[in-house]
Amino acid sequence: MLKNFWYAVEFAHAVTRAPRRVTCLGQDFVLYRKRDGEVVCLSDLCVHRGAALSAGKLTGDRIACPYHGWQYEPDGACSRIPANPPGRGIPKKARVDSYPVREEYGLIWAFLGDLPEDERPPIPHFPEHDDPSFATVYVEMVIEANYERTFENVVDASHTPFVHGTRFGNPDRPEIPDYEIVQDDWSAVADIGLSPPPARGLWKRLYKEKPEEVLVTNGWYLPNIVKLHVRLPFGDMILYDHNVPLDRNRTLVKIVGYRNFFTGRWADRDARKRILSILLQDKPVVESQRPELLPYDLADELHLRSDSLQVAYRRRRRQLMAAGWWVGDEAQLPVNGARGSATVIPSPARRENPELARAWQHRARGGDPAPAGDPASVDAPAPAAEPVPAGEATATEGESE
């Protein structure tokens, strides 16, 4: 799992003044809207006794813990402890992580990392969202598989004739022509010609005759987004597939789908049904893949020219891992001979104030207590790899004040 990226963690229409828990990179976060409509993203864990802030209530723009009523400002600092007598101060370490938020393309994006604003990778541009000729639908589904497996599945063009032969591919013409990739530091895109199956259902009304080939633009945007643009004879269908890592073995797939045909709201149900049917075809195949986690070395799996987009991702992924942007086994502590998770997603406040770098940290759900001692084995930053600006690896174990 990669830190130091913008993650689309929720659909914008789902975030209100009521605190809402979301999960990403194996951690829980709480989202809510301030009175002016701006969205706040905090770690969903009160520093005092670990209660979920998402179960609390808002007081103005502050969120109150449901257990002891501690109130946290949008920047994560605790501003009120009801149990304190008048005049007693609040410890500097009484705070939780707050993450930068942007609301774009009908999504709430949280920057899960600690890079300065001018060093952060961009949010991809989705031009269809502001184009009035396109209608939009939102679909989501949980898949019991690692997010990189679900991510690569959508990038993979050669599986469509076999997994989606009744919907999207043509088993009688499974060949994938060689394609050229246009790539930069954060994305890779290619145009691929595919043979389609006959149109069915509502779409059949628009087909005059079956085309020999449909041009599909397929590509990925780091850290977890896949674009699928299908140019049908009667219009365009564009899907942006966000593979949100709930943890190492579960993924919440959130899809924003655009179409410039059948744009009335009456057709939304059919559009959602078609997207869900594709996901349901992928689900059992991806959940059966082994190994469950994507191999680190390219040579561990066999690759063909038709896999070029996936290979481009794996090479870029390896660069980012070397740059210290990976959240994984290096954040685990040995506990009495066993392995226990101690992942902490770095936030800007930790970077800006070194005194707080090891404050307000808790184990992931289900983690064992950590032994006392020097945590240096897990908080040493990895060496940087060009051309990626290195982010500090700050997964450590500490105590809150």
Q: Is 266 helix (H, G, I), strand (E, B) or coil?
A: helix
Average pLDDT, the chain: 83
Banded pLDDT at 206 (limits 50, 70, 90): low
What HEC string does 91-153 produce?
CCCCECCEECEEEECCEEEEEECCCCHHHCCCCCCCHHHHCCCCEEEEEEEEECCCHHHHHHH
Give the separation between CA 64 and CA 130, rounded to whole angstroms: 36
Q: Is the peptide bond before 177 cis (omega within 30 degrees of 0)?
A: no
Q: Which of 401, 395, 389 is nearest to 4 (CA)?
A: 389
Lowest mean pLDDT among 2-11, 81-90, 203-212, 259-268: 203-212
Predicted local confidence at residue 392, as pLDDT: 31
Q: Is 155 helix (H, G, I), strand (E, B) or coil?
A: helix
- Cα atoms in the Cβ-side hemisphere of radius 13 Å centred on 155: 29
Please compute the mean of the pLDDT values over residues 215-232 and round it to a whole number.
94
Predicted local confidence at residue 251, as pLDDT: 97
Please compute the mean of the pLDDT values over residues 305-310 and round it to a whole number.
91
Banded pLDDT at 299 (limits 50, 70, 90): confident
Report the C-alpha dihedral over residues 61, 66, 68, 74, rounded to 10 degrees. Answer: -20
Predicted local confidence at residue 286, as pLDDT: 95
Predicted local confidence at residue 377, as pLDDT: 31
Q: 108 near 42, Cβ under 8 Å?
A: no
Predicted local confidence at residue 395, as pLDDT: 30
Domains and CATH numbers, the chain: 5-119 (2.102.10.10), 127-319 (3.90.380.10)
pLDDT in tens, 150-200: 999 999 987 887 877 766 667 777 788 899 999 999 999 999 988 776 665
Banded pLDDT at 399 (limits 50, 70, 90): very low
Banded pLDDT at 329 (limits 50, 70, 90): low
Q: Which residue type occupies 237?
A: M
Please compute the mean of the pLDDT values over residues 8-27 and round it to a whole number.
96
Residue 117 in this model has a pLDDT that exceeds 50 = yes
Q: Which of 151, 193, 167 is nearest to 306 (CA)?
A: 193
Read off the tokens for 56. Answer: 């609390």
Predicted local confidence at residue 361, as pLDDT: 57
pLDDT in tens, 124-142: 999 999 999 999 999 999 9
C-alpha of 318 from chain center: 18
Q: Which residue type occupies 216?
A: V
Read off the tokens for 386. Answer: 């060009």
Banded pLDDT at 342 (limits 50, 70, 90): very low
The pTM of the full predicted model, rounded to 2 decimals, is: 0.84
Q: 42 near 72, Cβ under 8 Å?
A: yes
Residues of the chain with pLDDT > 90, as a percent, come to 63
pLDDT in tens, 233-283: 889 999 999 999 999 999 999 999 999 999 999 999 999 999 999 999 999
Residue in the structure block whose two tokens are 């709480």? 30
- Cα atoms in the Cβ-side hemisphere of radius 13 Å centred on 259: 21
